[in-house]
Amino acid sequence: MDLLEPIIKPYAWGSREALARLRGGDVPSAGPEAELWMGDHPAGPAGVTRDGRARTLTDVVHDDPERELGADCVARFGGRLPFLLKVLAADQPLSIQVHPDREQALAAFTAQTANGGEGPYSDDWPKPELLYALSPFEVLAGFRDRAQAAAVLDGLGVRSLRPVIGLLGAEGEGTGLMAALRTLLEWPEPDRASLVREVVAASARLADAAGPHAAAYGAVVAMARHHADDIGLVASLLMRHQVLDAGTALYMPAGGLHAYVRGVGVEIMAASDNVLRAGLTTKEVDVPELLRITDPTVRVPVVEPGEVAGRGRTHVYDCPAEEFALYRTELTATPVPLVPSAGPRIVLCTAGDARLRSPDGGVLTLQRADSCFVPDSDRGVTAEGTGTLFVAGTGLAVHRPRRLPDGPLRHRHTA
């Protein structure tokens, strides 16, 4: 068991309070702190001290993949950790985005590499995600049904949107939603700012009313403070707006259009950088590729926790991702087995304290915001204390692997 030194990502949309408070640091922090990374991702591998030497988790895994990850994980994913665990703290909206599935990512990255490597894909992996809300978390997740989307746009009373509303009424469910999204994202540049301003002004009037979509209109007004004249503000009204209660988890499948607006949560994902963006961002957007990858039929489900039989107060947030699974345990003074019991695991303490004990007598104490890496070779670990533990593992113990024709999955990054 190795105590981790996570990496803080200072993205501009991050909070100056949430992560600082979690870690017991100065509040406010000197700058925005958006994400706390715990994994071996090349863009921010966590630090460890192994045998008295300061190293990265990447180095440790590379030295002996089967000891650290286990034979099943290596056979399926190759010699790297297939998941990345984060604490995400958003004070401003993240981009409207979508992630590819495995076949799309592999085909697109292979073609991009053959054409010189320039393009939106960073690797050949998918990027499914699961978000567990530590605080109320505002999200835009998946499409509304087209009738509701038409009602939301029609309620604005903006004449320029009538053709978009017509597409929603005339086309089939998925076709109409994609046609409306395409029309908005490809809105003529000379007319874009005036449309956005008219929509924001109408949203401001409706946000204070008692209508059924007042919260969605209010989100447009709030996001406009950070992304004025961005066409993504209008497109956001095609998406389902909701505020997750603390303790709620949301699964984001491939092809699901989404944007995280504000909140603090634990996030686990396949260890990929593949993000296609369309708005609410200063980063590069790729509207044609986002439209190609987006699947309007994808629904973004709330994941109900399932109790792990015989494991005390441990629950799993089951979702159809081979790369990861997320577990939560409410500890007591009575030791309980760490779940999962094998494979690579990253353990995060978000409240109270925890003591992890291995059969060889090793003890590791975690305080709030502490995390550690537990290799496959450490079996039979138990946990006790007063805290809340999140444990990230692979999904192989939950889902049967689906072997692709080319054997073990790869994970490559462009320079």
Domain ranges of the chain: 146-222, 314-393
Q: What's the predicted TM-score (pTM) here?
A: 0.93
Mind listing the pLDDT tens digit of every residue in the chain (415 residues)?
Answer: 999 999 999 999 999 999 999 999 999 999 999 999 999 999 999 999 998 999 999 999 999 999 999 999 999 999 889 999 999 999 999 999 999 999 999 999 999 999 998 999 999 999 999 999 999 999 999 999 999 999 999 999 999 999 999 999 887 888 999 999 999 999 999 999 999 999 999 999 999 888 899 999 999 999 999 999 999 999 999 999 999 999 999 999 999 999 999 999 999 999 999 999 999 999 999 999 999 999 999 988 899 999 887 676 899 998 999 999 999 999 999 999 999 999 999 999 999 999 999 999 999 999 999 999 999 999 999 999 999 999 999 998 765 444 333 333 333 332 2
**249: part of which helix (H) or strand (E)?**
strand 249-252
Q: Tell me whether residue 258 is annotated as binding.
A: yes
Q: Tell me whether residue 399 is annotated as binding.
A: no
Six-digit token string for 30: 């000197």
3-state secondary structure 363-411: EEEEECCCEEEECCCCCCCEEEECCEEEEEECCCCCCCCCCCCCCCCCC
Q: Tell me whether residue 97 is annotated as binding.
A: yes
Q: Tell me whether residue 227 is annotated as binding.
A: no
* Residue given tokens 């190795």 in the structure block: 2
Cα separation, 301 vs 122, in Å, equals: 27
CATH 3.90.1150.10 fits 314-393, yes or no: no
**Distant-in-sequence, close-in-space partners of 80: CB < 8 Å, separation ≥ 6:** 40, 58, 61, 65, 69, 271, 411
Cα separation, 137 vs 260, in Å, equals: 8
Cα separation, 18 vs 79, in Å, equals: 34
Cα separation, 355 vs 333, in Å, equals: 10
The CA angle 57-371-300, to the nearest 5 degrees, is 95
Quickly count: other Cβ atoms within 10 Å of residue 31's Cβ: 11
Residue 403 a catalytic site member: no
From the candidates 23, 262, 277, 328, give the one annotated as an active-site residue.
277
Q: Sign (positive/negative) of CA torsion 195, 196, 199, 204?
A: negative
**165: part of which helix (H) or strand (E)?**
helix 162-170
Residue 80, judged by CB atoms within 10 A of its CB (0-12, 13-18, 19+), counts as buried
Six-digit token string for 271: 């260890």
